[in-house]
Amino acid sequence: MKLWVLSDNNTLIDRYFLGEPAVSYYIEADGLRILFDTGYSDVFWKNAQALGLSLNGLSHIVLSHGHNDHTGGLALLAQERDLTHVQLVCHPRCLLPRWYEADEIGPPESGAILSLCQYRPSAQPLFLSKNCVFLGEIPVSHSFEQRRPLGRVLLDGTQQPDLLLDDSALAIRTGEGLFIVTGCSHSGICNIVSYACAVCGDSRVAGIIGGFHLPRVNSRVEKTAEFLASLHPGPLYPCHCVSLAAKCRLMRSLDVREVGSGMCIQL
């Protein structure tokens, strides 16, 4: 497995790539070529070009959830690349309109994009290959990670509190265990990891990258650190929506690595 960070809040010292408060990864695993999230703008595209990644021949686009900092680049991608044979994988609610207060925070107009690709919505675990699975809807298995509404979503013609049931992740089997790729972890990073282990039948965690949705240090961070440490995981790459203070707390008991646009992880 190889994963390139195409878009993240941070950049790395002496690596001249663009950053933005968003997520986009390019993954090669098990014969697949996956674009996981598309960031907020064209940053993912420019960084891919700078890395020499053409994004030709994508097999899948996987969307972690429907917020615009994870789906904003979809329209550009549809303009620049032939997506006829590309599978667009996400939760059935992912592409619904969304708002936070007065701001629209949902994906770009999806009708035209869906007509250009192979749309594969799934609320159930969906194996993209033998060793790579989209987890679908994440059940709550940890009491400290109950779902709470964030903004509003259009359901059945009305705006309703958004519990972000569409928030999901990828799990990739490797020889060292599961490598888990998440966007924001609105579903709870521990819920996601527990579900990935159950779906894949493997309790070994080789690593995790993505937003853990930990903006501050509180009891949730303490319980998250305790649970993750109990798994004795490989390196963790918390980024995007994880504060410096939360990362520092996780570092007390876990192998936490830096993340920035342009970096590559290989297992």
Q: Where are the alpha helices (DSSP H) in the chain?
A: 43-51, 68-71, 74-80, 111-114, 189-200, 219-230, 244-251
pLDDT at residue 6 in the model: 98
Domain encompassing residue 188: 2-266
pLDDT at residue 114 in the model: 84
pLDDT at residue 122 in the model: 98
Question: Which residues of the chain are under the pLDDT cut of 70?
Answer: 110-111
Total-model pTM: 0.97
Tokens of 148: 């709470």
pLDDT at residue 111 in the model: 67
Count of Cβ atoms closer than 10 Å to residue 238 Cβ: 28
CB-hemisphere CA count at 13 Å for 2? Answer: 8
- Interatomic CA distance for residues 3 and 209, integer angstroms: 10
* CATH number of the domain encompassing residue 73: 3.60.15.10
pLDDT at residue 96 in the model: 95
pLDDT tens-place string over residues 129-169: 999 999 999 999 999 999 999 999 999 999 999 999 999 99
- Per DSSP, 202 falls in state -
- Interatomic CA distance for residues 196 and 135, integer angstroms: 7
pLDDT at residue 138 in the model: 98
What is residue 201's three-state secondary structure?
coil
pLDDT tens-place string over residues 94-103: 999 999 999 9
Structural domain total, the chain: 1
- Interatomic CA distance for residues 230 and 110, integer angstroms: 41
Q: Find out whether 194 and 153 touch, Cβ atoms under 8 Å.
A: no
- Interatomic CA distance for residues 137 and 219, integer angstroms: 25
Tokens of 83: 């997506």
